[in-house]
Structure 1
Amino acid sequence: MDDEMNSMYMNGVWDLVELPHGCKPVGCKWVFKTKCDSSGQIERYKARLVVKGYSQRERIDFKETFSLVSTKDSFRVIMAIVAHFDLELHQMDVKTAFLNGDLDEDVNMEQPTGFTEVGKEHLVCKLNKSIYGLKQASRQWYMKFDRNITQNGFKENTVDRCIYLRVSGSSYIFLVLYVDDILLASNDSDLLIYTKHMLSTHFDMKDFGEASYVLGINILRDRANGVLKLSQRTYIEKILRRFNKHNCSSTKAPIVKGDKFSKA
């Protein structure tokens, strides 16, 4: 919780102000989550301050909410290109991504439970940046990222606007954005390092190095043989446990995706 509040202060997410006359502040709450790695082991415990966005009023507290993310099909196409051309494949993550988005509307929030400033209990938080839970938070983050990345020589794909490409002579790099997860695929390690540095100057980033686990998908590479495998074993095991089927025997099912079944 202290880490989350430090992120709020570092990003200048809000200012404490008197509640304007006739306005009602939106509430907030703490959400706690256990983050696990690809093997299901606990990686860290996470606390997040979330706005109760369901109390926001359309055209007053927000206007547009639609935000883009890359599709799983695009992800598979990029993985095929990575395998075919033996590209470098690295992964990055944006810390507290939504806090980077700038707000166009005036939104006032109650002070967080457990972190009310002494002597200022009557004041509310006037939000300067978007925050998790706001209906427009995801959109504002995407708009900010898109603006920064296109100003730095990247061009968005016309079919999937969360896939970006930058070409420099014979070198090129793909950037895949899925909310706050970023995949970088390049044929030039220097261009890869430059892109990482550029991203880190604009946003608070985590660099995970070579990609191995992204969007709940394990990436297994055998570069010597030009093989790249995708596995969702962790997700499958999670679903089996959820429906109490994890101890069932497995068998091969000769079914192709898209097969239609009839009564016959």
Structure 2
Amino acid sequence: MQEEIDAIEKNKTWQLVEKPNDKEAIGVKWVYKLKHNPDGSIQRAKARLVVKGYAQQPGIDYSETFAPVARLDTVRTIIALAAQKGWNLYQLDVKSAFLNGELKEEVYVQQPQGFVSKGQEEKVYRLKKALYGLKQAPRTWYSEIDSYFAQQGFQRSQSEPTLYVKHQGKDDILLVALYVDDLVYTGNNKKMVENFKIEMMKKYEMSDLGLLHHFLGIEVYQDEYGVFICQKRYAENILKKFGMYGCKPIEIPLVVNEKLKKEDGGRLIDGWKLVLSYSFKARFNVCC
């Protein structure tokens, strides 16, 4: 929790002010989560300060909210291309990504539980940048990272707004896919790839996750033989959720001892007559 508050204040996300009479302060709450490794082990404990966005009013606290994310097909295509070309795939995670988005609206939030300033309990925070939970937070972050990539010479794909391509010289290329605060990147020039990571870590608070291992529920394994993907942990979680983790595998999942009959006692229907009947009725209705 203290790390979250420190990140917010370091980023100059808010300012403690007197609450205007004509404005309402939105409540905030703490959300706790455990981040896991692909093998299920705990990576780290995480506390997030979240705004109660359901209290926001359209046209007053927010306007546009939509922000695109990378499609799964795009990520799979990048993985396939890297496997074909023999490139390495890397991953970066932006710490508190939404805190970087500049707010245009005038938004006030209450002081968080456990971190109320003594002697200033009646004051509220005016947000200069977005917090998690705000309806416009994803859009403000996307606008921020999109403008930064444009300044760095990246070209945004026309059909995939979260895919960015940067060319250097005739042959060198760098590909970056963005999914909220996760970046997957690859390219044929190691120096170009390394410089991208250095510049990103200078601009934003980043976690260098190294080679891509886990993304959107897909487990990725890279070695000299190629790139291999699977969803073992995802499948195990589904089985556990429905109480079938200890079930026996079977090639043809049919009901045990089910007896199939050629005639089950139902009335026989001529399929062609049924189709012609519906076709005639449709044309009759159109004509009439």
TM-score by length of 2: 0.85
Encode CA deviations 1:26-82: one digit per residue, 9 max, x unaligned.
000000111111011111111100000000000000000000100000111111100
Distance in structure 2 (CA, Å) of the matches to 1:252 and 1:154: 48
How big is the shift at 1:216? Answer: 2.1
Summarize deviations over 1:154-182 as a string: whole Å, max 9, x none. Answer: 10111111010001012111001000000
Q: What one-letter code is carried by the residue in structure 2 that aligns with 1:144?
A: E
**2:250 match:** 251
Query: 1:137-166, CA deviations, whole angstroms, 9 ceiling, x for partnerless residues?
Result: 001000000000111011011111101000
Correspondence 1:1-264 to 2 at 5 A: 1-169=1-169, 170-223=171-224, 225=225, 227-252=226-251
Cα distance in 2 for partners of 1:167, 1:252 equals 48
CA distance in 2, matches of 1:249, 1:161: 44
What is the root-mean-square deviation in Å for CA atoms of aligned residues? Answer: 1.1
Question: Contact (CA 8 Å) 1:91, 1:181: kept in 2 or not?
Answer: yes
8 Å contact from structure 1 (residues 92, 206) kept in 2: yes
Q: Name the CA distance, whole Å, in 2 between partners of 1:251 and 1:103.
A: 54
Show the counterpart of 2:273: none
Task: Tell me how far apart the structure 2 counterparts of residues 156 and 182 of structure 1 sit (CA, whole Å).
Answer: 14
Q: Is the contact between residue 68 and residue 161 of structure 1 (CA under 8 Å) also seen in structure 2?
A: yes
Counterpart of 2:203 in structure 1: which amino acid?
H
Q: Report the secondary structure of 2:50's partner residue.
A: strand
Contact 2:106 2:127 in 1 (8 A): yes
Q: Which amino acid aligns with 2:236?
A: E
Which structure 2 segments of 5+ residues have no match? 254-288
**Amino acid corresponding to residue 219 of structure 1 in structure 2:** V
Partner amino acid, structure 2, of 1:44:
R
Q: Deviations over 1:193-247 (max 9, x none)?
A: 1111121121111111111112221111233x3x322111111111111111111
Which of structure 1's runs of 4+ aligned residues deviate more than 4 A? none
Query: TM-score of the superposition, structure 1-length normalised?
Result: 0.93
CA distance in 2, matches of 1:118, 1:207: 38
TM-aligned CA deviation for residue 101 of structure 1:
0.3
Q: Secondary structure at the residue paired with 1:106?
A: strand
* Identity rate, percent: 38
Give me the whole-angstrom Cα distance separating, in 2, the residues matched to 1:201 and 1:234.
Answer: 34
Shift of 1:7: 0.5
Q: CA deviation at 1:187?
A: 0.6
How far did 1:253 drift? 5.5
Query: What stretches of structure 1 of length at least 5 have no aligned partner?
Result: 255-264
Residues 164, 176 of structure 2: 8 Å contact kept: yes
Provide the C-alpha distance between the structure 1 equivalents of 2:219 and 2:146, rounded to a whole number of angstroms: 27
Distance 2:218 2:197 in 1: 22
8 Å contact kept, 1:165–1:173: yes
For the residue of structure 2 that corresponds to 1:77, the secondary structure is: helix
Structure 1 counterpart of 2:198, one-letter code? H
Aligned residues: 252
SS at structure 1 position matched to 2:126: strand
Q: Which amino acid aligns with 2:156?
A: E
Larger displacement relative to structure 2 (85-94 or 51-60) = 85-94
